[in-house]
Structure 1
């Protein structure tokens, strides 16, 4: 397997954009969520990109896929946390739809990349 340069992977680049969007949104959460949703969502968004980059250091596609699956899991966690924020009226519907769509698109791209490596 040829190692990937994580900075050139579209899934990593898009995850970096999501991090900025999530941090901007979580800064608007109520103060009492500072150590709840705010921290969890920030860590979750960073985990997506971090697992992609860490996975590129592995010697085999099988090992890389494990990190991509962890990244995908974090993306699904983030989607759930966005839904919680919507249900608690912490996020305007328009912002929710935009962020959730970005996350869902990234989930699909990570899934497709896993499938490509698994062939």
Structure 2
């Protein structure tokens, strides 16, 4: 269908995943298979599902993958809140990540709406 790298939402999602990897480097070692892994997986899934959806033949399939991406964005949103509440990330990092994920969610919702409308 289209090159995922040309989508602004994919660029933002990729940047978010890179930020999550940076921030989670400082998480406690006992979280490596817990919150660190879960947050990283969810963050990567946002951009990965956008990319996968771009390779599908129908707009409906693309919209479904965007919807999955939105689910991963919501999951990431919760994990960064949990990390903040556990004092694994500093408040300023939380605010930055939270603003970033909220922007991505809004972009995904707009794109899903456009794709579903044809």
TM-score greater than 0.5 by the shorter chain: yes
Give 1:86 deviation, angstroms. 1.1
Following TM superposition, where does structure 1 have runs of at least 4 consecutive aligned residues deviating by more than 6 angstroms?
none
Aligned to 1:34: 32
Aligned to 1:104: 102
1:84 to 76, 82, 85: 82
SS in structure 2 at match of 1:113:
helix
Q: Deviations over 1:71-91 (max 9, x none)?
A: 000000000000101111111
Q: TM-score, normalised by structure 1?
A: 0.96
Q: Deviations over 1:33-66 (max 9, x none)?
A: 0110111111111100110000011111111000
**Structure 1: which 5+ runs fail to align?**
none
**Structure 2: which 5+ runs fail to align?**
none
Aligned to 1:67: 65
Indicate whether 1:18 and 2:20 are aligned: no
Task: Provide the C-alpha distance between the structure 1 equivalents of 2:24 and 2:105, rounded to a whole number of angstroms.
Answer: 21
SS in structure 2 at match of 1:29:
coil
Task: Provide the C-alpha distance between the structure 2 equivalents of 1:68 and 1:4, rounded to a whole number of angstroms.
Answer: 14
Cα RMSD (Å) of the superposition? Answer: 0.6
Task: Provide the C-alpha distance between the structure 2 equivalents of 1:65 and 1:42, rounded to a whole number of angstroms.
Answer: 23
